[in-house]
Chains A and B, each alone.
Chain A
Amino acid sequence: MENNRFELNKNLAQMLKGGVIMDVTTPEQAKIAEAAGACAVMALERIPADIRAVGGVSRMSDPKMIKGIQNAVSIPVMAKCRIGHFAEAQILQAIEIDYIDESEVLSPADDKYHIDKTAFDVPFVCGAKDLGEALRRINEGASMIRTKGEPGTGDVVQAVRHMRMMQSEIRRISSMSEDELFDAAKELQVPYDLVLYVHENKKLPVVNFAAGGVATPADAALMMQLGAEGVFVGSGIFKSGNPEKRAAAIVKAVTNFTDAKLLAELSEDLGEAMVGINEQEIELLMAERGK
């Protein structure tokens, strides 16, 4: 067996499991995140809450800014490109990013096609609302999946909805008889072999994280109990009153997500959580981008 980039890239996601990936916009924030126990950082110019507030077209970050963050920390550094913008992805690969997030948080560059991620050596993580989206992204070469949730809101409701949807569809596929899988593949608009994998293994073929709206240790524990293998926290940390303390508490909550007594201690005195926006107040549904 020679070097199989897809396997190696899936393997890196396996190493991130049980961890928290944090959005950072400066080398200083990246250092705070690393010191608080982040297993990776997502380098971006504006966190989702600010992207919402500012509006306009949101693009890949300045490579110089990303390199500054790569130099500041020793943990993996991820960065976002627009859905379908393979040139941005090529640029991120050229600066040796550890993971590319083809993300609905940025303005989509293509309203029909996602990036052919099999053409790249660096790994991709993609968002999904349900099993069909997740398997379509994996078929395109994504080696890690996260729920879309609703970024920049501090409202966990949609991450919960997407995780529950994925898990319930996985349970449904797992319990099917084998002759029903062909039709399930048609219905989900995905290749049969991916459906067969889910049927046999009762899980996605790649690691699955929660993202989009996680703001507290309790939110993180909720997502882990619902079946997430780790958590992305975007605006939730650096839009809160005490980022260091909140970040460290969320890290510990992910490790001990079933210990309510410890979670109670971790939830104490964290200062103000990000204010957040309720689902009904959102004008822009990022989760509807890229299906």
Chain B
Amino acid sequence: MNIGVLALQGAFAEHEQMLSKLGVSSFEIRQEKDLKEDFDGLIIPGGESTVQGKLLRELNLFDKIKALIDGGLPVFGTCAGLLLLAKEIENDERVHLATMDITAVRNAYGRQLGSFYIEGEFKGIGKIPMTFIRAPYIGAVREDTEILAETNGHITAARQKNQLVTAFHPELNEDLSVHKFFLEMIAATHKA
């Protein structure tokens, strides 16, 4: 299995380390020619969604990545990655890849003083560490989007078919279970 990690800006190296701990190979996507490599899944890391959204467009990655996701490529977005995948953002006119039927709320917990750590339930996994950094949450899900975690009354993880998103950062803690969950999603796609 080979995972592409979008490496335009943000915490992409942390995801690569998680994958390497799980014995899975990964490579960085920084420009169009990097998409030539064969890969089974895509991770969109935390960072600033405005920066990543702009660079996706200007480095000619936007249409190709959107088509791959629409075509069923398994994708895992954390924090900014969630915002890039959301079809709607409640407090921002700019949407980006807009492939997932969720409404995100940007900077939903306010500035850095609102960042927090908590241990919470993740459906099918159990209690896991969750680190929220200037994080969004999901205001609403539609269609066949399944809620996977709720934190203090707000949706913080969800899945729709090939797309998995978390408002928190599994890549910042030692726990590998959410990444494993994503790899199992990919394995199931291969079987289907």
Contacts and interface: CB of A to CB of B under 8 A. Distances in A.
Contacts of A262: 31
B129 A259 contact: no
Contacts of A1: 117, 119, 129
B117 A3 contact: yes
Given A15-B47, A75-B50, A76-B134, A7 B11 contact: no
Given A18-B8, A18-B10, A255 B30 contact: yes
A256 B55 CA distance: 11
Contacts of B47: 15-19, 39
Contacts of A8: 112, 115-117, 131, 133
Interface in A19-44: 19, 34-35, 37-40
A39 to B, nearest CB: 5
A256 B116 contact: no
A15 B113 contact: no
Given A11-B133, A39-B51, A18 B117 contact: no
Contacts of B111: 70, 76-77, 96-98
B: interface residue count bin: 35 or more
Contacts of A15: 10-11, 46-48, 79-80, 133-134
Contacts of B133: 8, 11-12, 15
Contacts of B8: 18, 255
Contacts of B37: none
Nearest to A75: B48
Contacts of A18: 7-10, 12, 47
Given A2-B117, A19-B51, A259 B7 contact: no
B185 interface: no
Q: Identify which of A18, A70, A93, A99 gathers the most chain B CB atoms within 10 Å of its CB.
A: A18
Interface string B51-91: 10011001100000000000000000001100000000000
10 contacts: A7-B117, A8-B133, A11-B133, A15-B134, A17-B11, A19-B9, A37-B51, A76-B111, A96-B111, A252-B58
Interface of A: 1-4, 7-9, 11-12, 14-19, 34-35, 37-40, 70, 74-77, 93, 96-99, 121-123, 248, 251-252, 254-256, 259, 262
Given A17-B47, A40-B48, A98-B111, 16 more contacts: A2-B117, A3-B116, A8-B112, A14-B172, A16-B47, A17-B9, A17-B13, A18-B9, A35-B54, A39-B47, A75-B50, A75-B51, A99-B112, A123-B112, A251-B55, A255-B55
